[in-house]
Structure 1
Amino acid sequence: MTTKWWKESVVYQIYPRSFQDSNGDGIGDLRGIISRLDYLKELGVDVVWLSPVYKSPNDDNGYDISDYQDIMDEFGTLADWEELLAEMHARGIRMVMDLVVNHSSDEHAWFVESRKSKDNPYRDFYIWRPGKDGREPNNWESFFSGSAWQYDEATDEYYLHLFSRKQPDLNWENPALRNKIYEMMRWWLDKGIDGFRMDVITMLSKTPGLPDAPVIGDKPYHWGGQYFIHGPRLDEYLSEMHREVLSRGDILTVGEAVMATTEHAIDLTNEETGHLNMLFQFEHMDLDRDPHSMSAKWALKRWDLLDLKQVMTRWQRNLEGKGWNSLYLSNHDQPRSVSRFGDDGYHRVASAKLLGTFLHMLQGTPYIYQGEEIGMTNVRFPSIDDYRDIETLNMYREFVHDRGIDPATVMAGIHAKSRDNARTPVQWDDGPNAGFTTGKPWIGVNANYPEINVRAALVDPNSVFHYYKKLIRLRKENPVIVHGRYDLLLEAHTEIYAFTRTHGDDRLLAILNFTANQPVFALPSGIAYSGTELMISNFEVDAAEDIALLTLRPYEARVYRLT
């Protein structure tokens, strides 16, 4: 296992629209980010992953790109972006840009040309097909509800869009398209960026013939993921991308990999034969999905600690020495971690610290999503009119208006799972709009901002922020946290998640109570030690306490060095 800067780094994700507004239009922007860089420097992060800031009509909040080499007007100018990069580098912070090349916007110049005629030079940049029996070319369902095909009258054909109809899928079978993308990627690297986070990168290759998905139930459209995820030419495309672009610099690359297994991850992230540094896998994100429900994401199912242990342990052990893990519990597409995996009420602070301890003590590169470091929570807007996310709005319309499901039931799912939970503005202080904007925010601020905000966290030595700061510092000072072998303890315990990390003679023990109960931790007899050093804990702990038998407080987290 080699030493790499991206293994030793902590990454902070910024969702620009909700980070900081500088001009009072209610939308976060690049100059707003510049104004908060000293905050990130104090936190101690090494890398910022910047969610898309490219030109976009904003159908899917910037993930529908109309110009890959310019900046969205609402966010600022290319000169603002260049200043942001320079200011980040001046503080020792690297920048990773979002790469969205499974699809573009339907307002991208390539697609504008593509839809003009069947013999247009750009026609084959996208996936066009004639209808079949008076219907769409196949029965695939979009991630955002409804058919994955959109009819276009001008040429009497359909184009594929696995997401919004304004996000047509690019045709990676076309080498001219691939070369244009590589040229664009090199352009950004030449500007000095430090890597790419790759949106739905394992969906580039579609099965030839685009076969129908298996029919389940009586819905008109059906999940066809087996035909467009980890497709037959994916390795070929990523190998070519690595050869043409990624191998030319010492950069961070992380691919969003829906339905990835550890075998996929080893193939793609092996340091000698792979193409990327790491993947975002989703197995732990799916633990509260109901696989038997037709609306798997939105059906409320309680996650189980034994399942979390099983998933995370498999990824830790299987990738050891063969690939590299990314570590995350929240991002712009997921609910707030403290609301999902902890307790966002009475035990919010303790459970937020526990989750941070869990994540940062595993092997892999940790990702912090903006606001996570102060324990921001899910929002419970009272009306669907308060939501902005296209996935959420489409789902509500389908479930309530088309399927006749009770609106209160649907709203309960939205309160738990909507992507807008992560997209409410960062809560900087207890002033108007939480200090995010002097205007009207593009989406409402969470009502708990007077209590949960950065200003309060900075002055409270026991805040979640200062705890995260210590976690980051410990990781930099202790190679065992980065490189150590992971071994699970108490596999069958339903309340405690405990594991060791071992690197040479250095050994850490993490003890995590994932409940509001007070379970007893009994150290397994095979763990020998002569002494202990408390590295970090989210409660006051007597340093002389014997770790052989501990009664843990609700959501208590402790990490010891064993000597």
Structure 2
Amino acid sequence: MDELWYKDAIFYAIDVESFQDGNGDGVGDFRGLTSRLDYLEDLGVTCLWLLPFFTSPNLDNGYDVKDYYSIDSRLGNLQDFSEFIAAAKERNIRVIIDLIIHHTSNEHHWFHAASNDPSSKFHKFYIWSEEKPEKTPPPSFPGQENDVWTYEKRAGAFYFHHFYSFQPDLNIDNPDVQYEIMSIMEFWLAFKIDGFRVDAATFIMGDNGVKEDEIRNPVGFLKKLCKTVTDKNKEAILLAEADVEPQKIPDFFGKGERFNSLFNFILDNYLFLGLAREEAQPIVEALKLPMPPKACQWTNFLRNLDELNLGKLTEEERQDVFKKFAPKEDMRIYNRGIRRRLAPMLNGNRQHLEMAYSLLFSLPGSPLLIYGDEIGLGENLDLEGRTSVRTPMQWNAGTNGGFSTVPAKNLFRAPLLQGPYGIKKVNAESQQQDENSLLSWMKRLTRMRKHCREIGWASATVQNTDNPQVLVLTYEYEGNALLIAHNLSGKPVRFKLKSRRYHARQLIDIFGNRKYEPTTEETIQLDLDEYGYRWFRVNRLKIESKDGN
């Protein structure tokens, strides 16, 4: 058994409807996804995170669940899902799925029953108020929702929703709701999945701003979730979407008995500030976050399939990132985020892209890619909201980019056909045939990360240098040591380590943006190209000072 497998994981997020059409109806599905598992195995990812695939009105990319026990008929059925899981396991690829228990669709039968009969038990599944409360938190989607309370005529009352009005919040404090949640989890665990990504965990743990929506014993509820998972599968995990302030992070990890992993939203904010300013210091500050308990892990990312949420930055810092990576208004969303893919944000600069992904894979924790990252997929800003980053995967330069064989008019969403990120210039097939492509490079990166277990298991130490544009991290684990350097600037640099523990002459190159001159006994300074990176093994590790600086 490998109960801590997630500490070595390389996660890969997939929107099933956008990945591969397997039955020729213009929508991605589980048959199509199964047919691409060899590609994913070759890429080197070890765990797939599937975005929602349940029956849904699909007003919010499936996060408005109508039925937790069935699959959106466009994507397949439970048999297709079961066959997909079995095929993934044959390739040693794990699968986690979204667990959306903070809210339902307003088309869910619970909500219909709650609205039609206020005396039914289902009425207490949601949060109601006969009068609209005066003090309420701001809506999560400013510009698209103006309030968090919506009147329901059938019930003669207002219902609460943190997100869209078609997503009423569940009253998770209700034991009957908790029972239903555990039943949902047990149902999907029976398919041998490897865990859940818990949506909106921030609010589930009580950070709501609405007294009626708070769980009186959130830790007790979380322990129930964990027990439900581990009773079915000792290796299954809970990965939390918890965008919280640093002082609240221990509430989610506990002593290692709560969530197994958290998305590192704080680090992501300061990663982009560092990339925008071409300075290491913002990243250094974010790395001061305390390490999770030994059995827990950070999951790091550059982009996910929502907006790049910069809510942790000051207004001045956010504007610096906007100016660099989202200079036009239509590239921004909710006054706090960017609705773009990474490749166009970096103007398609291959060196810059490599450095950013190398940096991601070298940060303490486990890295997450989103589908298409590996080929430099672009976005479509003509699409509404966050859908801009969920265009179909581009497999080849043929019809519909190889995503589907149907006439273009029958596609649920079109791939990018024209421009620098269109199917003729960006597709997996052409890159598979080119050993110098971004895809081929990404395969080398995933292989290198698997050989450097120190990153997933040890804490990172920032090493001081004489150049503010260079970030140097070291890891020590089981007698081995790594030193990894990144140049965040678009100009070549030469720098010197300010360390009594590590010396340039000790370093052996194992991965980099090019083949650099090997270090020698005389080496004092190290070189990095513009947006350059170098991964080193440390030879003859000195131990005069454990402080390292």
Q: What TM-score do you get using the length of structure 1 for normalisation?
A: 0.81
**Per the alignment, do residues 348 and 378 of structure 1 end up closer, same or farther by CA in structure 2, a change over 3 Å counting?**
farther
CA contact (8 A) 1:253 1:278 kept: yes
Of 439-448 and 362-371, more deviation after overlay is shown by 439-448
CA contact (8 A) 1:102 1:204 kept: yes
Give the AA of the match of 1:362.
Answer: L
Aligned identity (percent) is 28
Counterparts in 2 of 1:58-77, with a 5 A limit?
A: 58-77=58-77
- Alignment correspondent of 1:148: 148
Matched, 1:256 2:241: yes
How far did residue 12 of structure 1 move? 1.2
**Per the alignment, do residues 20 and 318 of structure 1 end up closer, same or farther by CA in structure 2, a change over 3 Å counting?**
same
CA contact (8 A) 2:278 2:469 kept: no
Distance 1:303 1:75 in 2: 42
**Per the alignment, do residues 492 and 324 of structure 1 end up closer, same or farther by CA in structure 2, a change over 3 Å counting?**
farther
Secondary structure at the aligned position of 1:536 is classed as strand
Matched, 1:526 2:500: yes
How far did residue 525 of structure 1 move? 4.1
CA contact (8 A) 1:287 1:303 kept: no
How far did residue 551 of structure 1 move? 3.5
Matched, 1:20 2:20: yes
2:405 corresponds to which of 438, 449, 454: 438
Distance 1:500 1:288 in 2: 18
CA contact (8 A) 2:465 2:498 kept: no
- Alignment correspondent of 2:313: none
CA contact (8 A) 1:475 1:482 kept: no
Distance 2:345 2:434 in 1: 19
How far did residue 203 of structure 1 move? 0.7
Secondary structure at the aligned position of 2:240 is classed as strand
Offset from partner CA, 1:321-353 (integer Å, 9 cap, x none) = 474211111111135999777775666222222
How far did residue 138 of structure 1 move? 4.0
How far did residue 137 of structure 1 move? 5.7
- Alignment correspondent of 2:314: none
Secondary structure at the aligned position of 1:325 is classed as strand
CA contact (8 A) 1:283 1:311 kept: no
**Per the alignment, do residues 34 and 173 of structure 1 end up closer, same or farther by CA in structure 2, a change over 3 Å counting?**
same
1:333 corresponds to which of 294, 306, 310: 306
How far did residue 142 of structure 1 move? 2.4
Counterparts in 2 of 1:55-454, with a 5 A limit?
A: 55-132=55-132, 138-144=135-141, 145-206=145-206, 210=210, 233-249=217-233, 250-261=235-246, 263-270=247-254, 272-287=255-270, 302=276, 305-306=279-280, 308-315=282-289, 317-319=290-292, 321=294, 323-335=296-308, 344=345, 348-379=349-380, 381=381, 386-388=382-384, 392=385, 419-439=386-406, 440=408, 441-446=411-416, 447=418, 448-449=421-422, 450-454=424-428
**Per the alignment, do residues 432 and 505 of structure 1 end up closer, same or farther by CA in structure 2, a change over 3 Å counting?**
same
CA contact (8 A) 2:341 2:377 kept: no
How far did residue 561 of structure 1 move? 0.7
Distance 1:78 1:498 in 2: 47
How far did residue 506 of structure 1 move? 1.3
Distance 2:537 2:221 in 1: 44
CA contact (8 A) 2:202 2:241 kept: yes
- Alignment correspondent of 1:296: none
- Alignment correspondent of 1:509: 483
Give the AA of the match of 1:11.
Answer: F
CA contact (8 A) 1:360 1:475 kept: yes
CA contact (8 A) 1:387 1:443 kept: no
Of 198-207 and 458-467, more deviation after overlay is shown by 198-207
Give the AA of the match of 1:357.
Answer: S
**Per the alignment, do residues 147 and 26 of structure 1 end up closer, same or farther by CA in structure 2, a change over 3 Å counting?**
same
Distance 1:347 1:497 in 2: 23
Q: What TM-score do you get using the length of structure 2 for normalisation?
A: 0.83
Matched, 1:482 2:449: no
Offset from partner CA, 1:126-148 (integer Å, 9 cap, x none) = 1111124xxx5643332223101
2:518 corresponds to which of 524, 543, 552: 543
Secondary structure at the aligned position of 1:350 is classed as helix
**Per the alignment, do residues 302 and 75 of structure 1 end up closer, same or farther by CA in structure 2, a change over 3 Å counting?**
same
Counterparts in 2 of 1:19-58, with a 5 A limit?
A: 19-58=19-58
- Alignment correspondent of 2:320: none
**Per the alignment, do residues 313 and 228 of structure 1 end up closer, same or farther by CA in structure 2, a change over 3 Å counting?**
farther
**Per the alignment, do residues 201 and 547 of structure 1 end up closer, same or farther by CA in structure 2, a change over 3 Å counting?**
farther
Q: Which runs of 5 or more structure 2 residues have no equivalent in the other structure? A: 309-324, 326-337, 540-549
Of 98-107 and 353-362, more deviation after overlay is shown by 353-362
Secondary structure at the aligned position of 1:333 is classed as coil
Secondary structure at the aligned position of 1:147 is classed as coil
CA contact (8 A) 1:106 1:167 kept: yes
- Alignment correspondent of 1:465: 439
Secondary structure at the aligned position of 2:164 is classed as coil
Distance 2:528 2:149 in 1: 54
- Alignment correspondent of 1:557: 533
Distance 2:83 2:42 in 1: 20
CA contact (8 A) 2:280 2:488 kept: no
CA contact (8 A) 2:375 2:426 kept: yes
**Per the alignment, do residues 166 and 347 of structure 1 end up closer, same or farther by CA in structure 2, a change over 3 Å counting?**
closer
Distance 1:91 1:209 in 2: 44
- Tell me the matched-pair count: 496
Offset from partner CA, 1:271-328 (integer Å, 9 cap, x none) = x5531111113223445999xxxxxxxxxx956644541344123x533647421111
How far did residue 235 of structure 1 move? 1.8
Distance 1:245 1:126 in 2: 25
CA contact (8 A) 1:171 1:177 kept: yes
How far did residue 492 of structure 1 move? 8.2
